[in-house]
Amino acid sequence: MLDIKFIRENTDLIKAAAKKKRIDFDVDALCVLDDKRLVVLKEVEALRAEQNSANAAIAGATDQADRTARIESMRVVKEKLATKEDELKQVMSDWRQSMLMVPNVPDVTVPDGLSDADNKEVHRWGEPTKFDFTPKNHVDLMLAHDMVDFERGAKVAGFRGYYLKNDGFVLANAVWQLAMQHWMNKGFTPMLVPSLVRRETLLGTGYLPQGEDDLYKTQDGEFLAGTGEVATMGYHIDEVLERSEFPKKYLAFSPCFRREAGAHGKDVRGLIRVHEFFKWEQVVLCEASHEVSVKMHEEINRNTEELIELLGIPYHTVANCGGDLGLGQVKKFDIELWVPGEETYREISSASYFHDFQTRRTNTRYRDDEGKLRFAHSLNCTAIPTPRILVSIVENYQQADGTIKIPEALRPFMGGREYIGK
């Protein structure tokens, strides 16, 4: 959410932001609605003042006829006020809904483009893995080593269901342990966060109202979040923090749930696209400074790059184009890992910064050096998701004899073993 004063003073900027992000939003209509809001609000305040004045006059009236006349006059004012308050309630509802749909302004360095096909590579590490034998995909490799069970997963959980078992689960747990060690060494606070969250928390992070189709909803009105970012951003809802606490760096672990609405027919086999998974997520709150946000954005993205390098998996990082940005994102990087079975790079992590777009919604503020209350800036970045990361690990580390070499960084968390299958 943006400040209405900023929106009104920069309508051309908002129009340009909507155009770059390929978002259909009418800022002129919002301004007309805001004019109406201010007019009706002024009328309501005037009627309330008139009612208060009339109440005081009635209380001080000594003549019965005068008192009766004033009571009758106040009844008319009261009826007008009730009508105007109903009108204001509706106008405010429409205004708030429109305010939630205002796109944040992308950074000037964000490339133009319609979709992820237009994202621009900004960094590359390692070369695509080459084999002197015919490589297998992760499904065949993991089934051969009894690391996963898709058939029973589908029987129990439905389409895209799976069981991770034996070395499949051990490998996932090793990734979790390595990630926690990596980020704790960088000063992050690890947290196990809720996946069951209220609507207000999803509104606060910008996943609602436009993303509801991809969320699982309970019969009680809560939602199952698709990322630990949601609950972690909710941790400081309606709080006032001290500037000395910044940056606040959290490493959130949670199960995640996504309906994958609109993904029918995509990645139907294997672990690339599943409905339930587990993820470490970086979430950062910092002072309201563009320069600091940019610095932190580079830092959290680099944190994940470093972990991928520890795992020894080839990857590249892309800057997302305008059409591949969400409503609130100012800029985003995606890290994509090499998947030999598909001979392409597949996304494993996204790093975004939002300025105060999310914190205005969550009312997360801090006192600056002058004691003035300001909205914090927020950022987030995938640390590592499982089981998707297992796809690149087993495919890139497969051996000619069918075994899977364990990345050296994971061996301490797998009993010192060097191979799966030996």
Q: Is 367 a catalytic residue?
A: no
Work out the number of other CB atoms within 10 angstroms of the CB of residue 301: 26
Catalytic residue among 254, 293, 349, 350: 350
Q: Is 273 a catalytic residue?
A: yes
Task: Compute the distance between CA of residue 305 and CA of residue 318 in angstroms, rounded to an integer.
Answer: 12
Task: Compute the distance between CA of residue 104 and CA of residue 378 in angstroms, rounded to an integer.
Answer: 13
Task: Compute the distance between CA of residue 167 and CA of residue 205 in angstroms, rounded to an integer.
Answer: 36
Looking up tokens 């301490």 gives 412
Task: Compute the distance between CA of residue 281 and CA of residue 319 in angstroms, rounded to an integer.
Answer: 19
Task: Compute the distance between CA of residue 202 and CA of residue 164 in angstroms, rounded to an integer.
Answer: 29
**307-324: b (≥16 Cβ within 10 Å) or e:** bbeebbbbbbbbbbbbbb
* Chain centre distance of CA 300: 15
What is the four-CA torsion angle of 383, 386, 389, 391, rounded to 10 degrees?
Answer: -170
Catalytic residue among 70, 160, 258, 346: 258
Task: Compute the distance between CA of residue 230 and CA of residue 119 in angstroms, rounded to an integer.
Answer: 25
The Cβ-side half-sphere exposure at 187, using a 13 Å CA radius, reads 8
Catalytic residue among 8, 198, 243, 273: 273
Catalytic residue among 70, 160, 365, 388: 388
Q: Is 124 a catalytic residue?
A: no
Task: Compute the distance between CA of residue 4 and CA of residue 21 in angstroms, rounded to an integer.
Answer: 20
Cis-peptide, bond into residue 135, ω within 30° of zero: no
Q: Is 350 a catalytic residue?
A: yes
Q: Is 269 a catalytic residue?
A: no
Q: Catalytic residue positions?
A: 258, 273, 347, 350, 388
